[in-house]
Structure 1
Amino acid sequence: MKKIAIIDADLVGRKRHRFPNLVCMKLSAFEKEKGNDIELKMDYKDLNQYEKVYLAKVFLDTPVPEEVLSLPNLTYGGTGFFYDKAPPLPYEIEHHMPDYHLYDDWISQEIMKGKTKKEFNEYINSSIGYLTRGCFRHCPFCVNKNYNQVERHSPLSEFLDPKRKVISLLDDNFFGHPDWKEMLLELRATGKSFKFKQGLDERLLNDEMCELLFSSKYAGDFTFAFDNIQDARVIERKIVLARKYTDRPLKFYCFCGFDRAGKWDREFWNRDIFELLYRIEILMKFHCLPYVMRFARYEESPWRGVYISIARWCNQPNFFKKMTLREFAKLNGEQSACYRYLDEFEKAHPAAGYFYDLRYGG
C-alpha cells in the first residue's frame, strides 16, 4: 500500500472555493481501487513523506509555492497550470467514477468550525462530470479555444451517483453537439435535477431546445453567456424565444476586460466599459441577470475601480434588482471608493450617466 497525498490547490490557496476538483476525485478513486492510502492534503508541508503527491488546480491565479513544483514525487496539472495546453489525463483515470467522499473529512472539520452544511452543497449532493467536451467558437480568451468541435466525452453512467440529488454538468457547449436531444432526454429520465455549471450557448437555441430545456427539472438559474457586444441582436432574439417557454430567471455571464485586438490601450478601456453597460441594459430590459466576469488584465485599466463597482452591483442580485447603479454607489456612501470611481468615469464620459440611472424591469 502506497501513501499518497492529493492537493486541491484552489481549496488550499483561495479564500472561497465552493466546488470540488473533479480531477482530484478521479485520481483518488483510481488510487483507492489499487489499494493505496489517500489523504486530502490541506497544506504543502512534509510532502516528502508521501510516495506520490498529486497537485491540481483550475485557476491561474491560485498561488502554489514554486519549490513544491520541483519535488521528485510530485505530479501536477490542470488548467491552472497549463490553461489551454493542459495535458489530458490517462484514459483509465479520465473515465473513472469520481471518489465523491474525498472531501468528507475536510467538510466535517469545517462544519465543526461553524460553517453550515449548505456551504458544501456541491461537495455533498452533486454528481459531477462531462457529457461533452469542447467548442467550435474559438473565443481567444477561452480555455477551449483550440477545439474545433463539440465531442461526446462520457456516458452519464460514468459519473452518476444514484444517491446524489443533483447532476452538475461541466460541458463547454452542450447544445453544440448533434446528439444534444438524446443526452438531454437521458438527463430528464433520471428524475434528478440537473444544471450546466459552465452555462449554455444562447445563440444556438431553437424551439425544440427551449421546450425540452425549460420544462426540465433544472437546478437553479438557467445560465448563458453574453461576452461580445457584436452578438447583441442574436442574444435579444434568443431571449425573446426563451421567454415563450419560461419566466424563470435567465443569468448571463458578461465577460469584460479582454481586448480582442490585443492593444489594451485607453481607447479600449473606455469602449469596453460602455459595451459592458450596454449589455447590462439589454439584459435588464428582458428581466435577465448579468454576472460580470473580468479578464485578469482589467487590473491595468485606468478604470479598474469602475469594473469592480459594476461587478459588485451586478453580481449581487438583491442589489441589482432593487436599485440603479447610481443608487448602489450612493448606498456605499459619497465618500466611498465605489462612488468616487463611478463619479470620475461619468465626469470623463457624461454619456455614462444614462446607464447609471437604468433600473431592472424599468
Structure 2
Amino acid sequence: MNSKYDIIIIGGGAAGFFTAINIAEKNKKYKIAILERGKEVLSKVRVSGGGRCNVTHACFIPNDLVKYYPRGERELKGPFNQFCSGDTIEWFENHGVELKIEDDGRMFPTTDSSQTIIDCFIKATEKLKIDILTLQSVQSIFQKENSWKIDTNSDTFQCQKIILTTGSNTKVWEMLTNLGHTIVPPVPSLFTFNIKDSRIKDLMGVSALATVKVKGSNLKASGPLLITHWGMSGPGILRLSAWGARELFDKNYHFTLQVNWLNETIFEECLDELKELKEVNNKKLISKFCPFDFPKRLWESLTFASGISNELKWADVSKKQLILLAEQLTNGQFQVNGKSTFKEEFVTAGGIDLKEINFKTMESKILPNLYLAGEIVNIDAITGGFNFQNAWTGGFIISESI
C-alpha cells in the first residue's frame, strides 16, 4: 500500500515525538506520521535517568550550556539562543508536566517517573491526530522530483518532507552515506574505567573530589571520582570519557590514568603541608590521622602504598616516605585496561558530519527537505539531561523552520 503524508518522521524516540508535536501545534493542516522500527515507542525515554527521565539541566545561559557538549559546542550556540533549558521547562509546564531541579542541576518530572513524559507525548500526538506506526523498519529512502519515497518492511510511504531522529542507527547512517552524506564513525562515549590495583582493591563505594588526566595527552577532567569493584567511575571519569571518546578509542582503552586525589593541589604544596604536619602532630599515627578532607580508608591505603606502616608516627616518617606520599596524593598512576558501559544510558560520539547541516533550520545541506535531530548527528554530551536538551532544541528549530 502507498500511504501519503506531508511529513514523515523516522524514529519514535524523544526527538521524533517532540518534533512531530511542535510541527502539528504550529500547523494543524499537516498530515504527519512517526515510523518506529520497534514495537514500542519512547523506550529510551522510559529507562533514562534510572526510570525517572532526566529531561534537561538547570543551566539557562546558552554560552554556558554548550560547554557540556564535547561534540557540538560551537554549532549549538545559535540553536540554544532560540530554544534553551528555560524554554524546555515552560514547554512541559504548558503540556501539564512540572519539572523540579535537583542539587546537581539535573531536572526531572516532579512525579520522578519517566512515564509522565511518555504519557504527555502520547496524549499530545493523539490530540493532534499524528499517526504512530510501529514495526516499520525502513529499508530505503529516496528522493523523487519534489517528494520522498520510503520503503519499509511492510509498506511504502510518500511525503514532502522527511525528518530523521533515529539516534545511532547504523543502517540509517548507511542509507545517508549512499545519498551523499558523510558519517563520522561512531565510538562509545560516557564509560567507566577498568582498573585492577591493590590501592583501590577493597575501597568499593569510596568517593573523592579528584582531577584525572590521561598520561601523555591533554585530556583532563575534574569532579567526584567513585571507586567501584571494577575500577573507577563517577562524574569526573565520565566527563573524561566523553571528551576523550575518540582518543581513548584509538588507544584501545589501554592507558595510564593520573589521579590527583586533592583535586588541584600541586605536589610542592602537598609536600610542604605534610612536612608541617610532621612538626605539629609528631605523636600521632600517620595512618590514623588524615589531615585532608578525604576518605579515611583511601588515606590508609595511600599511606601504605608509600611504604608507611600502620604503626608509624609522624615524628618517625622519613623525607623519602613523605615525598612518596605527596606523589601518591597528587599524581597517583593507575593502569586502565578496558572500559565498562555506564548504566543503560549508552551514548555514542559520531554521526552525521556537522558541516553538512544548516543549524538555523536543522535541514541537510546535501538533501533538501530532509531534517535531522537528536543523536543521529555528531553531537553528544556528558550525563545530566544535556542529550535530551539537544533533542528538544533540534525538534523545536525544525518545527519553526517547517
* TM-score, normalised with respect to structure 1: 0.27
More helix, by proportion: 1
Q: Which has the larger radius of gyration?
A: 2
What is the TM-score normalised by the length of structure 2?
Answer: 0.25
Bigger proportion of residues as strand: 2
Name the structure, 1 or 2, with higher relative contact order (CA <8 Å, separation 6+).
2
